[in-house]
């Protein structure tokens, strides 16, 4: 089976030879292809080529459009800057009241340069990969996108001091996220990743009362459009796992702070867990032999379960290539 067939077999609970390998490469991929990050995140051709280079060099089993968390922010009217070799950032808060939200644009994802760049990247993958490798699209979750627009501190304060404003802004982000997800699926995405990293910083009650219904609505919508869902909340999400289970994503990224066995017991045997090596330790502290040993131990423990090997979050720039190869080797030696 090719990597796409293996993913959908895994979704159905069928095991194939070896374990799928889904490391998160962004700056690492750009550097591998001698690109500045601004080029990688702004030019879909550069992003696609960098990811395909990673497939060819390290044998990763998917490609993704993860690169620019401010695509939706830019489309929705945010003033975003794109440093030459750093992640984009939003420099001005344009929304501060319910009235401001009502005046926000309702953009066409095909007319905003940043969202169109993402859609074109998926089309390019579709053209080049012969339907053999799963293509993972990306949207920001409602809370994460609201934080991108007005800043994390202001959004967190709003949830307490002006919950009507916070809910209205997240609803605006959700509505646009649905449009963006649908356009990516129509372009050829097999999976849509939902980035909700900020949720690891809130309590179970906050997530359940403020975010869960919106995330669930987005997940259900993506499923209705025919794609799988990969939920990414880096950090320690042990306290959120029971609520995440109710949202029913197909894949959940688990970071190194989360115990894989506990995640299995809470999420159940139907949800694919993706993780959970520590990317910083792999970069700074571990030899390739140690990376292989940790990876192999994890893969062996997960044998027969719905599991994908990855680090808990992005592989840092400068991670030795032999360490990445060691992870891959562990997936095929199982």
What confidence tens digit (pLDDT) does each residue in 130-187 have?
999 999 999 999 999 999 999 999 999 999 999 999 999 999 999 999 999 999 999 9
- For each of the domains in the chain, give its residue range(s) and CATH number, in order of start: 3-332 (3.20.20.210)
Task: Tell me: pLDDT of 334 over 70.
Answer: no
Provide the pLDDT confidence category of residue 283 given band limits of 50, 70 and 90.
Answer: confident
Q: What is the pTM of this model?
A: 0.96
Strand positions, DSSP E, the chain: 63-64, 80-81, 89-90, 135-140, 191-195, 228-232, 251-254, 272-277, 307-311
Residue 114's pLDDT is: 94
**Range name among 45-54, 63-72, 74-83, 287-296 with the lowest pLDDT average:** 74-83
What confidence tens digit (pLDDT) does each residue in 55-95 have?
999 999 999 999 999 999 999 988 888 899 888 888 877 78
Residue 39's pLDDT is: 95
- Arithmetic mean of pLDDT, 236-262: 97
Any bridge partners for residue 81, and if so which? 89
Sequence-ordered list of residues with C-beta below 8 angstroms from that of 64, at least 6 positions apart, any chain? 24, 51, 135, 136, 137, 138, 193
For all residues of the chain together, what is the average pLDDT? 95
**Range name among 17-31, 87-101, 258-272, 279-293 with the lowest pLDDT average:** 87-101
Q: Are strands 80-81 and 89-90 parallel, antiparallel or unpaired?
A: antiparallel
Cα separation, 142 vs 312, whole angstroms: 22
Provide the pLDDT confidence category of residue 307 given band limits of 50, 70 and 90.
Answer: very high
Residue 70's pLDDT is: 94
Please report, to the nearest 10 degrees, the dihedral formed by the alpha carbons of residues 197, 200, 205, 206 taken in order.
Answer: -40
Residue 92's pLDDT is: 73
What confidence tens digit (pLDDT) does each residue in 85-113 have?
888 888 877 788 999 999 898 999 999 99
Give, in degrees to the nearest 5, the angle at Cα 291 between 50 and 328: 45
Task: Tell me: pLDDT of 229 over 80.
Answer: yes
């Amino acid at each position: 089976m090719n990597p796409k067939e293996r993913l959908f077999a895994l979704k159905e609970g069928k095991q194939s030879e070896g374990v799928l390998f889904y490391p998160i490469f962004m700056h690492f991929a750009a550097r591998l292809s001698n690109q500045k990050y601004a080029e990688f995140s702004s030019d879909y051709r550069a992003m696609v080529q960098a990811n395909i280079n990673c497939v060819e060099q390290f044998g990763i089993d998917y490609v993704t459009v993860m690169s620019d968390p401010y695509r939706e922010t830019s489309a929705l009217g945010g003033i975003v800057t794109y440093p030459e070799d750093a992640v984009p950032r939003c420099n001005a808060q344009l929304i501060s009241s319910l009235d401001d939200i009502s005046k926000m644009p309702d953009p066409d994802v095909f007319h905003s340069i940043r969202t169109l760049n993402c859609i074109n990247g998926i089309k390019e993958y579709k053209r080049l990969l012969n339907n053999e490798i799963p293509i993972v699209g990306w949207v920001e979750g409602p809370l994460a996108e609201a934080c991108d627009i007005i800043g994390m501190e202001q959004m967190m304060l709003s949830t307490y001091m002006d919950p009507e404003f916070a809910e209205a802004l997240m609803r605006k982000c959700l509505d646009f996220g649905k449009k963006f997800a649908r356009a990516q699926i129509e372009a050829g995405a097999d999976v849509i990743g939902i980035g909700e990293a900020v949720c690891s910083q809130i309590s179970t009650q906050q997530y359940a009362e403020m975010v869960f219904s919106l995330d669930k609505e987005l997940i259900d919508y993506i499923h209705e459009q025919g794609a799988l869902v990969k939920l990414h909340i880096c950090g320690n999400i042990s306290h959120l796992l029971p609520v995440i289970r109710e949202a029913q994503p197909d894949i959940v990224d688990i970071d190194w702070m989360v115990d894989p066995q506990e995640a299995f017991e809470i999420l159940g045997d139907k949800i694919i867990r993706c993780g959970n090596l520590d990317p910083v330790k792999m970069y700074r502290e571990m030899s390739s032999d140690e990376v292989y040993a940790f990876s192999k131990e994890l893969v062996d423990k997960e044998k027969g379960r719905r599991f994908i090997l990855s680090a808990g979050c992005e592989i840092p720039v400068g991670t030795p290539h032999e360490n990445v190869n060691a992870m891959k080797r562990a997936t095929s030696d199982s």
